[in-house]
Structure 1
Amino acid sequence: MRDLVTADETTLVDLSIGLEDGIASEPTPPEIDAFDHEAGAKRLAETLQEQGYDVDPADFPEGMGLAWEDLAVIPHAGTHLDAPWHYGPEVDGEPAKTIDEIPLEWCRGNAVVLDFRSMDPGEEIGVGDLEAALDDLGHDLSPGEIVLLQTGADELWGQPEYLTEFPGMSAEGTRFLVEQGVKVIGTDAYGFDKPFAAMGERYVESGEESELWPAHFAGREVEYCQIEKMANLDALPRKTDVPIVAFPIEIEGGSAGWVRPVALIGDETGGESA
C-alpha cells in the first residue's frame, strides 16, 4: 500500500454523511439541541455557581461562553461501521466482536469500488454481479482489501426515497467477499441488505426466513464489518488501489460506531495507475 499520509500532495476525499437533526433520510433521526454562545455563558455560569463560585453570564468576554450541543442519537445514524455483534452473538461458534473490539488494522487499507448503479432498487447483488464488476476492473481481490459498493443512493440523501431506492447485498455475495479475505465492506446506500419493503415482500411471498436481512445474518457465519451510508464514491479518481482510513468511535459493547471514512489520494502524475 502506498504511503497513506504524505503532506501537501495528498488529496483527502470525505466518504461520509454526518449527523443532521430530524433528517428525512433516517428512520430514527438524530435529535440535536444546539446552545449558542450566550446560552453557553449561562450554563457555564450556573455550573460554577453550583460549585460555590459567584460568576454571572455577563462576566464572560462579551457575555459569551462556549457553544455546544446535546445529542440523542443511535450509533446506526449517519455513516457508521457495523460490528459482528450487530449480526448475532456468535460468528461460526465464536463470540462476535463488539465495536470496541474491532482491530484497527481492519479499518485501513486499499479499497476497490464496485459499480452497481445500473441495478434497480430492491435487486440483490449476487456473486455473479460481484465477479462481473471485478472483471470489468480487471481486478483480483487480495486479503485485507476494503470493498465499496457504489449504488448511487447517496444522491438521494435528505429525501425519504433514500430509504427505499437502492439494491442490496445477498448472503452469498457477502460470504464470497469475506472468504477472499475482505474484512470491511462499505455501501453508499442506507442499508447493506435490500430495502425493508423488498425484504418484506419476498418473505410474505415465500415464507422463507432467509429473505430477512440475509446479508447481515451471513455475518453469523463469516466475520466482517460493514460501513453503511457512505457518500461521494463518484469523487474518487479511480476504482482500485484507493487508500482509505475508516476508524470507528469506540462504544463499550456497541453494535456499531460512527465513522468518517476518508480516501487519501496521492499525486496522480506520479505514475499511479487508474
Structure 2
Amino acid sequence: MSVLAELLKALAAGSVEVVDLTAPLSESTPILQLPEPFANTVPFALREISRYDDRGPAWYWNDIVTGEHVGTHFDAPVHWVTGRDGEDVSQVEPRRLVAPAVVLDASAEAAADPDFVLEIDHVRAWEKVNGPLPDGGWLFYRTGWDARSADAAAFLNADETGPHSPGVSAECARWLAEETPIIGIGVETVGTDAGAAHGFEPPFPCHSYFLGAGKYGLTQLQNLARLPVRGAVVLAAPLPIVGGSGSPARVLALVERDVVER
C-alpha cells in the first residue's frame, strides 16, 4: 500500500488524529493594537451579499473585510523591513507549508509572569530532554495564552505601561533564527513577539530576526496542549496573496493517536 493510502487508512481508523490549531475568525477576534502614530489593521468583518432573498434567492454569501495579520495567521519574510527583499506570502513554496513541529511548554512560567521571555538556556535545557530542534520544522512555543483568546482585554493584557504577554528574548530570537535549523516559530499570543518587545533591542526581535533570515511566523495558535512534544506534522495554509505580507491561515496538525495518549 502506498504511503498516502496508508495515511488515509490511518485517518479513517482514527490512529492519526487531525488537531485544529486555528482560532475561530470573527468580529470579536482580538487584534494587535499599536500606539499612535502607527496605523492599525482593521478587524475581521462579514458583509452580507445575499441570503436566500431577492438579492440571491438560492444562495448565501458574504464579502469579507480583514487585515492580513488578523487571528491565526502566517507572517511572510516581506512583512518586516529586515526581510523586505524576501518572499511575499504567495511565494512561499508549498512543500514548506507541511513540516514537523515540536512543542516547548512554558505555560507554568507564563502563568506566574505574563512578561516571561524564553532564553537560549531554556531551549537548550529542552533539547537535552527532548532532542534537537527539527531541521526544516516549527518550534511551537506554548504559554497557555490561548485560554484568554475569547476575551480581547485578557488576551492583549494591556495597562498604562503597555501590553504584557510572554515572548522570546532578543538574544534567543537571534539564535533561533540564525543558528538553528527550524523553519519558523509558532505562538499562542497576538504576535510572535512579547507584549513588551517594542522596548527590546532590536524592537520586536522575533519579527526582525526570523523574517530577516527568510523564516516564518505563526500566531494566535490554539490547542498546543493537545500536541506531543515532538512527532506532529503541521499543515499551515495561508492564502497565496500576491504581494501579501501575510495571511489568515488554517493550521492543522497530524498526530498519531498513541503519541497523543502517552
**Fold-level similarity (TM above 0.5):** yes
Deviation at 1:228, TM superposition (A): 0.5
Q: Which residue of 1 is the match for residue 68 of structure 2?
A: 75
Deviations along 1:105-138, whole A, 9 cap, x unmatched?
22212110000112321222121122223334x2
Deviation at 1:89, TM superposition (A): 5.6
Deviations along 1:47-93, whole A, 9 cap, x unmatched?
xxxxxxxxxxxxxxxxx4211122211010111110010112647xx
Deviation at 1:25, TM superposition (A): 5.3
* Cα distance in 2, alignment partners of residues 42 and 89 from structure 1: 50
Q: Which residue of 2 is the match for residue 6 of structure 1?
A: 8
Q: Which residue of 1 is the match for residue 87 of structure 2?
A: 97
* Cα distance in 1, alignment partners of residues 123 and 30 from structure 2: 31
The answer as to 2:23 corresponding to 1:17 is yes
* Cα distance in 2, alignment partners of residues 188 and 73 from structure 1: 20
Q: TM-score, normalization: structure 1?
A: 0.77
% same residue:
24
Q: Secondary structure at the match of 1:128?
A: helix
The answer as to 2:229 corresponding to 1:239 is yes
1:248/1:25 Cα in 2 relative to 1: closer, same or farther (>3 Å)? closer
Q: Which residue of 1 is the match for residue 174 of structure 2?
A: 175
Q: Which amino acid aligns with 1:253?
A: G
Conserved? CA contact 1:81–1:228, under 8 Å: yes
Q: Which residue of 2 is the match for residue 166 of structure 1?
A: 165
* Cα distance in 2, alignment partners of residues 199 and 244 from structure 1: 27
Alignment match of 1:228 (pick from 209, 219, 229): 219
Gaps of 5+ in 2: 34-41, 158-163
* Cα distance in 2, alignment partners of residues 80 and 5 from structure 1: 27
Conserved? CA contact 1:187–1:229, under 8 Å: yes
Conserved? CA contact 2:46–2:64, under 8 Å: yes
Q: Which residue of 2 is the match for residue 186 of structure 1?
A: 186
Q: Which residue of 2 is the match for residue 210 of structure 1?
A: 201
Q: Which residue of 1 is the match for residue 125 of structure 2?
A: 132
1:100/1:24 Cα in 2 relative to 1: closer, same or farther (>3 Å)? closer
- Flag the structure with higher strand content: 2
* Cα distance in 2, alignment partners of residues 239 and 150 from structure 1: 10
Deviation at 1:174, TM superposition (A): 2.5
Q: Which amino acid aligns with 1:158?
A: A
What do you get for the CA RMSD once the two structures are aligned? 2.5
Q: TM-score, normalization: structure 2?
A: 0.80
* Cα distance in 2, alignment partners of residues 189 and 20 from structure 1: 17
Conserved? CA contact 1:88–1:219, under 8 Å: no
Radius of gyration: which is bigger? Answer: 1
Q: Which amino acid aligns with 1:174?
A: A
Gaps of 5+ in 1: 45-63, 204-208
